[in-house]
Amino acid sequence: MSPFRAAHASGETWRECVTQCAGRLGRPGGGLGFVYFTDALLPHAAAIVDSLRQSTGVADWVGTVGIGIIASGTEYLDQPALRCWAGCITSTRS
């Protein structure tokens, strides 16, 4: 299984987008998450990240916002949409 999991979703509300993405990501636990969202969701950025933390167990998230996002061959423009990646990153140093 890949150490990274990915999901994307669109919906009427930020909660709907987060619920769909979190359901697809599962609980990778720990690690690092990347979240990209369309500008329609910008007013809810803090709530989106808080909800992703709680639902996935991934505490640390980084990301950005744009007028559109591309996810696995799907383009989202002028609509609420999220793209998330999450996974465990471990050091290989001895």
Task: Judge whether 94 lies within some domain.
Answer: no
Per residue in 11-61, pLDDT tens?
A: 999 999 999 999 999 888 778 999 999 999 999 999 999 999 999 999 999
Query: Can you tell me the distance from the alpha carbon of 4 to that of 31, in angstroms, rounded to the nearest whole number?
Result: 9
Task: Judge whether 29 lies within some domain.
Answer: yes
What one-character DSSP code corresponds to residue 45? H
User: Structure pTM?
Assistant: 0.86
Q: What is the span of the domain harbouring residue 50? A: 4-86
Query: Can you tell me the distance from the alpha carbon of 27 to that of 23, in angstroms, rounded to the nearest whole number?
Result: 9
Task: Judge whether 25 lies within some domain.
Answer: yes
- What is the domain-level CATH number for residue 29? 3.30.1330
Q: How far apart are the first and last CA of the chain?
A: 24
Task: Judge whether 92 lies within some domain.
Answer: no
Mean pLDDT of 65-91: 89
pLDDT at 90: 64
Task: Judge whether 93 lies within some domain.
Answer: no
Task: Judge whether 72 lies within some domain.
Answer: yes
The number of domains in the chain is 1
pLDDT at 2: 64
Confidence of residue 88 (pLDDT cuts 50, 70, 90): confident
Largest CA distance in the chain: 48
Residue 86 has pLDDT above 60, yes or no: yes
